[in-house]
Chain A
Amino acid sequence: MQNPVEKTAATAQTVASATHPVAAAAEPHIDLSVSPADEIKTTTCYMCACRCGIKVYLKNGKVRYIEGNRDHPVNKGVLCGKGSAGIMQHYAPSRLRNPLLRVGERGSGEFKEISWDEALGLATTWLGDVRKDDPKKLAFFTGRDQSQSLTGWWAMQYGTPNFAAHGGFCSVNMAAGGLYTFGGSFWEFGEPDWEHTKYFLLFGVAEDHGSNPIKTALGKLKGRGAKVVSINPVRTGYNAIADEWLGIKPGTDGLLVGALIHEMLRTENVDLEYLVRYTNAPWLVIRDPGSPDDGLFARDADGKPIVFDKRTNELAAGSRIDISPAVVGEFTLADGRKAVPVFRLIAERYLGNEYAPDAVAKETGVPGDTIRRIAAEIADVAFKQTVTLPLKWTDWAGREHDSITGRPVSMHAMRGISAHSNGFHTCRLIHILQILLGTIDVPGGFRYKAPFPRPAPPPNKPVGKPSQIAAGKPLPGMHLGFVAGPEDLLMEADGTPTRIDKAYSWDAPIAAHGLMHMVITNAALADPYPVDVLFLYMANMSWNSSMNIGATLNYLTAKHDDGTYKIPKIIYSDAYASEMVAYADLILPDTTYLERYDCISMLDRPISDADAPADAIRHPVVKPDRNVRGFQDVLIDLGSRLKLPGFTKEDGTARYPGGYPDYIVNHERSPGIGPLIGWRGEDGNSFGVGKPNPKQLERYIANGSFHVHHLEPGHRYMKHANKGYLEFAKASGFVGSTDPIIFQLYSEPLQKFRLAARGHGPIQPPAQHKQRIERFFDPLPFWYPPFEGTMIDDRAFPMHAITQRPMHMYHSWGSQNAWLRQITNANRLYMSRTRAALLGIEDDDWVWISSHIGRVKAQVKLMEGVNDDTVWTWNAIGKRSGTWGLDKDAPEATQGFLLNHLIAELLPPRDGGYRYSNSDPVTGQAAWYDLRVKIEKAPAGEAHETWPRFEPLKSPPGVSAPSTLSYGREFKGGKA
């Protein structure tokens, strides 16, 4: 390196002598072919949940460069701003280096470094004591875990009902909304038919799932003139390049979609043939108010739903193909009672005035004319611009077809829907619009990705009833499943939830992902009961992953009168010095994504695309330079130390002595079905089902660390009713039967809950839950205002407050990254220029943001592209001082802020004082975006830093940051 001081000294002299042009003739010689790597290894990115294939360039044992893998099915060579900054995540000074044992008060950050033997010995004692006494006293919740099929199975073997990952505060209402409707889902479980769609609607789509496929597709859609419509209160990212942006008021998407459905029905733009073939539109619903089966499907002697056949004018089994089912009318059942087809109920509901475009305009902020125009555009594309692909296929009834015709309108939706208390029903409304148009799994529509479709809802039930929990014993099945009625809830006889998070109780009956956001609160309040050990992985629950942070910190540190903690023991695994570390008692330091094995499994959340089931692995491309272990290895080790049945051989020795890679290859969930689908069988030639192949990981690595199985052309569409696909899916272990998957426009399981609330059946909600179950378990989706605005004085808190995800940050992780934090290290409160003017607020002013539970101070940035009634900020930029390896005066701590302080984890009391969680009432999904606030200019004396600020945390041992970074100097050819 040249010394900058010497150069400065030379400057004046050189400049003074340069009065004549310097000859340009002699260009310096540059070596244009410096080899950038000694070795290039492929693995899978973990900078967000997109899980792209990457090539890691290694030089002198260090990471030189990370690029997208062109052959990979997810990203096809591209890589986002996060993935391309992976080097700085891997070498972040925030990394932990040894297991830690708390030695000061909880929250003090006082730790001593201990050995793995000591750490695992302690964990084994704590966990072993609980298991032999009462296993539900362990609450094991994993955050941004990409190995839930292992972590869940471990919890099942342990025997606690208290397991879930972070889905309860992420997406569960939309996962459930999709699975109960058409056996698929938005998020990364399905995708628009990017090649053929001509009209694409995005509802509140964030940039951290399916992010590169969506970006790539948007570029292509715009290139070929497909119209992109975004529905989002904020015009950033994808929304900025949409052909049309609808700056909707938060939480009113369901009303807008209801109005689009209204228009489709009014203008008769509905695919009736699609409806009678693939949906329950013709199924007859009993109309017998007061009876225990009112609102259930009329069924034949075999229990199969029936329809009215217009050819014979008789009732007929709904599955017959030789009939012409009626979709309107009213019919008399054999017992003399009346019944009507589902479609009639749909028409009656959505043609109602409350869904007329002009009626929803004020609430949504979208003019009636605009809604009618969009509806007309959708109808035109769906019904006049169909796409036909020459694909031979066989339908569920065995009939062969030479082609598939699709209605090329597609939709995608994410957090803007899920983070509201009306998200389940709003998501169902979007699916119903798709289905009425006939756009599910057709060319140009929204397509399933394997292992979906599954039956609607999937047949697996939640496990964790009182009779299924026993000291020292595993649960009989996996925790998370799909209730079909009140009989599937997990409750004591008196209605007390068996789970600490109250999932699958009257509070949240269809809590298909659990309620991680309620665990700390409930455990500290012993509601429904206390726990002994709280075990968390990769979840920043003392900061940006919790609502009402101050209260959460109080719960984490609350003590009994005898001085013992109300949550007695907290074990936490993380790779980095996050805010949560200081609130745990025992820290198990994890590796980075470049140092670990993982499997992106078909048993969990694979990387399939619509044309190809696919899964992937991670494998260590660099060795840890510190005393850390991959959490999955640790969990397997703990499993064998605890002698959990699945982790122990009959002779008492470890079943997977080789740790996670041993488990990935050799574990069988059922005979022949393991974590990976590729290269199974002893010879490695089987797909999906086959014996363990000892060389399986080598095959994955040789193939770029993924496996992709291209579906036969005739299996690629209409998967819900495609005989060939369903037979393939059954043989591959994705579904249990080849029966067609019938879309449930009308959801009978919901009606069963409603009937229970009306006093029918053996399991009925207690009085305080009845009204809520009756209202929200409507078998047809409906729009209702988000809860918070209806439970507080909304005139006092007139603005909606939401977050958006910066494309270059994944939750809290980006701030420890030296490059990403240069792009964003402090967040502003964004609001509309016109609204700010009315409030006397100018650009760069500091303001107080107040909600019904507290206030936060932030600096304002004014903008055009935001709904006037909405303020917003970037998610998870605000940090607590002293964390993530950052200096105590980092802007993330002095100016960065979180809205979390303003969001109550419990709704205000009602009905005799009972407080529900701030969640969707059907699924328990956290309602982050229901927040209502008022904005006031801060007095001049307060206008300099954020509030609240908590005591700085002490950095864990070994965490210290350099003042200058010159990464890459050592790689400079010949000049190091």
Chain B
Amino acid sequence: MAGNREFLNRRLHSLLGVIPVGVFLIQHLVVNHFATRGEEAFNSASHFMESLPFRYFLEIFIIFLPLLYHAIYGLYIAFTAKNNTSRFGFFRNWMFLVQRVTGVITLIFIVWHVWETRIAAMFGAEVNYDMMADILSSPFMLAFYIVGVLSAIFHFANGLWSFMVSWGITVSPRSQLISTYVTLVIFIALSIVGIRAIFAFV
């Protein structure tokens, strides 16, 4: 097994990006969307998530550890590439570059977002509608959140495409083309959910 550590690392990186991190992303965006139904709906939804049993276990094993692994190994992957879109301007090569760029943006965004919400909660701040409305009242933070959320969604949707190639689910060119369109629809649909939720706080 030691001989193919890199193979296992890469496959694990690909898998964790979808399960559980991608699934968590969808769940998070859906819960955020309660904000479009008003302050009370959002607060009760976030209170429900907060009061789930085994909360720390769920947070550590479904969110933090997989995310940390995916982020650190992903940075290593991103910085071992030598991007060449200026010489080879093919669609997939651009997606390859944008996947790496959005990955880094998403990491910066998530670090800030976790610091501002989850870590702040550890120090006694209350994470609720008012907190988000307060953060997003600054135009700079609003722009930062929009860019961060769109990056995360793009990275997930395009990552889903390469997950299906990397695990050998989509092999033929036609299946890969169809999955390009499917993941594009996923990107657009989740973007609508994410952006609507952000503007519900403004």
Are chains A and B native binding partners rather than an unrelated pairing?
no
B residues with CB within 8 A of A: none
